[in-house]
């Protein structure tokens, strides 16, 4: 059977969740899909789940346990479709996923949509992660994997091109994790084109205890390997592995993995201001995953547990600086910045990554109809709300620039070179408004 889009669903002892996944496919607004469920050596009722659904568009393939990358590669061999989506056996897609994502990919090679975070019972956590144009660049992708695997649709013809493969396969069977990150890195570095990300939350990621994402030491080691072997410019790798360790320190603290946190802390050395910003952002995310809560809507007792973890694994000024960053939500900080604006000031968000997107979503409400702008160095970037896109050469003394990326040194230097002095750093509010030359 040939279909427009094939879902490849690796499943190993997934009987408790697979039915939910397959039923979400049955609800698609278009019938032009197929699913390949690759039973990777299950010893439970995984295969029976497929048989109970009884949909001829769902094919069951069984193999001895060989791991996630091999199961996904097997699914690719079996699929007969224009586009592929690699959907895990505990996640779901919204009814409009197939129809919308086929439209979204257009003539590009890959497309991604927003991800809705769900609790173990598929309860909505009120937490949506919106992909940005920056997430689809090699500069962002070498740092970490910014996109959930099930949120991505890829053109089948693209992944069969030799330059997109590793030893003839999309997913490297030698990797015990991060095989999807490795594949997207390879494809992006080889010239695969990403469509503009869809902001619809069409993919649902279920948070569960004991998932692969809890194997932190292994994920850290394999991640360094993925970064190290990526076909990217050497200067992009130079600091990426260091920042990868900083992000994993955050995950170790959030998971209360004292031994790993101690080892990583020793490897990293002194934490710079940028390191602390990255640590704060990664810790917010990792703690939210661990607690199954949205990082921006925590109850006081959850915040207390969060702060206790920081104090348990960091000491002295480092702990104090991290807690200070965690105490301020980005939207709260943006609201503080807005209160400093004088008549005629025009705020400008610089950077439409995740921090920038979230800030842009709040700008219209905070400014109550007053003008604001945004800048991003990526040609395909976009921003929610009524902001107007600007260029650096359009900035004047009327503009107050709010820099959102974690890695912002080059941006600050470029603003200083243009004589722009009214600058906020949204991440951590470090230094407030600058009135002296920027570094």
Pick from 301, 308, 334: nearest CA to 322: 308
Residue 81 belongs to what H/E stretch? strand 81-86
Percent of the chain with pLDDT over 70: 96
User: End-to-end CA distance of the chain, in Å?
Assistant: 60
Average pLDDT over residues 325-329: 83
* Separation of alpha carbons 374 and 407, rounded Å: 17
- Residue-wise pLDDT tens digits, 281-291: 999 999 999 99
Q: Is 43 helix (H, G, I), strand (E, B) or coil?
A: coil
Euclidean distance between CA atoms 437 and 439, whole angstroms? 7
Whether residue 302 contacts residue 293, with contact meaning beta carbons closer than 8 Å, is answered with: yes
Q: What is the DSSP string of 97-115?
A: HHHHHHHHHTTSSEEEEEE
Matching residue, tokens 């970490």: 144
Query: pTM score, two decimals?
Result: 0.86
Residue 261 is encoded by which pair of tokens?
């946190």
Task: Find the largest Cα–Cα distance for the chain.
Answer: 69
Q: Which residues pair with residue 40 across a beta bridge?
A: 63
Whether the pLDDT of residue 417 is over 90: the answer is no
Give the integer Cα–Cα distance in Å for 40 and 68: 8
Structure tokens given for 212: 């692969």
Instruction: Encode pLDDT of 23-52 as tens digits.
Output: 999 999 999 999 999 999 999 999 999 999
- What pLDDT digit, counting tens, does each position of 156-202 carry? 999 999 999 998 999 999 999 999 999 999 999 999 999 999 999 99
Give the pLDDT confidence score for residue 426 in this predicted structure. 78
Q: What is the pLDDT of residue 432?
A: 43
């Amino acid at each position: 059977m040939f279909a427009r889009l094939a879902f490849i669903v690796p499943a190993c002892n997934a009987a408790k969740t697979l039915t939910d996944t397959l039923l979400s496919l049955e609800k698609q607004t278009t019938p032009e899909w197929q699913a390949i469920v690759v039973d990777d050596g299950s010893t439970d009722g995984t295969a029976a789940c497929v048989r109970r659904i009884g949909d001829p568009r769902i094919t069951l393939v069984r193999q001895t346990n060989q791991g996630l990358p091999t199961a996904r590669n097997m699914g690719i061999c079996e699929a007969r479709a224009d586009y592929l989506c690699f959907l895990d056996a505990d996640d779901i897609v919204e009814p409009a996923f197939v129809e919308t994502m086929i439209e979204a990919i257009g003539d590009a090679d890959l497309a991604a949509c927003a991800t809705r975070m769900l609790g173990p019972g598929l309860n909505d956590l009120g937490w949506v992660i919106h992909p940005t144009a920056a997430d689809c660049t090699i500069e962002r992708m070498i740092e970490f994997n910014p996109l959930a695997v099930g949120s991505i649709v890829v053109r089948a013809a693209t992944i069969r091109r030799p330059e997109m493969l590793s030893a003839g396969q999309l997913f490297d069977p030698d990797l015990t994790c991060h095989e999807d990150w490795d594949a997207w890195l390879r494809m992006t570095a080889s010239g695969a084109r990403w469509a503009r990300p869809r902001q619809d939350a069409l993919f649902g990621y279920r948070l569960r205890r004991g998932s692969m994402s809890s194997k932190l030491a292994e994920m850290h080691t394999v991640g360094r390997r993925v970064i190290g072997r990526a076909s990217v410019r050497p200067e992009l790798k130079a600091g990426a592995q260091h920042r990868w360790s900083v992000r994993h320190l955050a995950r170790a603290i959030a998971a209360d993995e004292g031994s790993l946190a101690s080892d990583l802390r020793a490897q990293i050395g002194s934490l710079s201001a940028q390191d602390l910003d990255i640590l704060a952002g990664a810790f917010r995310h990792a703690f939210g995953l661990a607690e199954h809560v949205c990082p921006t809507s925590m109850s006081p007792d959850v915040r207390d547990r969060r702060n206790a973890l920081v104090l348990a694994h960091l000491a002295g000024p480092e702990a104090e600086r991290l807690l200070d960053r965690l105490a301020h939500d980005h939207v709260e900080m943006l609201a503080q910045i807005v209160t400093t604006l004088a008549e005629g000031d025009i705020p400008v968000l610089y950077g439409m990554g995740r921090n920038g997107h979230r800030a842009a979503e709040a700008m219209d409400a905070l400014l109550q109809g007053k003008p604001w702008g945004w800048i991003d160095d990526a040609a395909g970037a976009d921003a929610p709300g009524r902001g107007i896109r600007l260029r650096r050469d359009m900035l004047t003394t009327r503009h107050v620039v709010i820099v959102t990326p974690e890695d912002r040194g080059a941006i600050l230097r470029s603003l200083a070179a243009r004589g722009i002095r009214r600058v906020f750093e949204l991440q951590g509010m470090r230094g407030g408004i600058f009135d002296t030359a920027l570094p």
